[in-house]
Amino acid sequence: MNKRFLSIALVCGLLFAAIGAYVGMQGIQVQPPQNGAVQKLMNLTLTDSLGAPQKLSQWQGKILVVNFWATWCAPCVQEMPELSALQKELGKNNVQLLGLGIDSPSNIKDFAKKYAITYPLFSAGMEGTEISRLLGNQAGGLPFTLLISTDGNIIKTYLGRLKMDELRADISKITGAP
């Protein structure tokens, strides 16, 4: 039973990784978010990497970089050290990164213990997949990242591995800081 579950999980993980890689290489455009999608996101209460429930609304009023990711997604994991550095660098400018893992709470917890991530990580499970679709990620690819202004408007979406210079430039346009 346990081997069967692991096999199914591995196949699903490889499938999602392949979809994400394909989407990233094809440059598929993200669709416009559905009405009220950001508010649905901000109304979520998710389990953080320590196992505690957290309301995402506590970060309303900040410039948000919301990154949908998974522990089995290689591009997601590869960009996390850069995102951690970005949080350290820009946190003083009212910028907050949030990592929403399309994964189980136990996997998120284990991942957080293994890597020194400087921003909050949450387990969004399959609900995270649906929310990312509402936010414009119709392809379901990962990583999927949103830049949200202080007033809750989506400034830009990014599908696939982030280009940090582009993200920094987009954030600078909002903050006015170099």
Q: Which of 17, 64, 73, 108 is catalytic?
A: 73
Q: What's the angle, vertex CA 132, arms to CA 103 and CA 93, rounded to 5? A: 95
DSSP 57: G
Q: Which of 38, 76, 86, 171 is catalytic?
A: 76
Count CA atoms closer than 13 A to 62's CA, side-chain side. 19
- CB 97, CB 86: distance < 8 Å: yes
Helix, strand, coil percentages, rounded to 5, for the chain: 50, 20, 30
CA distance 106 to 86: 26
* Nearest of 118, 120, 49, 122 to residue 85 by alpha carbon: 118
Whether 76 is a known active-site residue: answer yes
Under 8 Å CB-to-CB from 123, ≥6 apart: which residues? 46, 47, 48, 49, 101, 103, 104, 105, 107, 108
Whether 12 is a known active-site residue: answer no
- State the catalytic residues: 73, 76
